[in-house]
Amino acid sequence: MTTMDIMAYDLLVAIGKCHRLLKNHADKLASRSAVKTVTHWSDMPSIDDAFRLEEYVDTELVDGEAVSWCLELTITPEGVRLVADVRRIHSIGQDVLVEVADRQFTNLVDFPKAVIEVTERLCASGPA
């Protein structure tokens, strides 16, 4: 395998691990008495000259509040942006409750380890 192949492999393995961490987080949230519903979903919106993966765990709490755990990865020729936060969703928009990360990487060497660490912190953050 070439160095580029190894970096691509490490990136895909890390994304898979983050997906499983968020799925497990959703499962744990669903068992809590303060949580009414949980949805775990992902999207890959169309963006010119970039690739974005968005993954969310959305909850509706029994008190009527809604909270979302958000992980967004945007890959461009210039590098990778990693954004992770916990948001309260309400009728007039969203408020960031916890900003876990907003980081820019200029290469993929350090990114796989960082995205896993950020996802672990994301799952440990916020209410419910």
Report the C-alpha gap between 52 and 34 in whole angstroms. 32
State pLDDT tens for residues 24-78: 999 999 999 999 999 999 999 989 999 999 999 999 999 888 999 999 999 998 8
Q: Which pLDDT value is given to residue 67?
A: 96
* Residue 105, pLDDT above cutoff 80: yes
- Name the CA dihedral angle for 112, 14, 83, 3, rounded to a multiple of 10 degrees: 40
Residue 56: what residue type?
Answer: Y
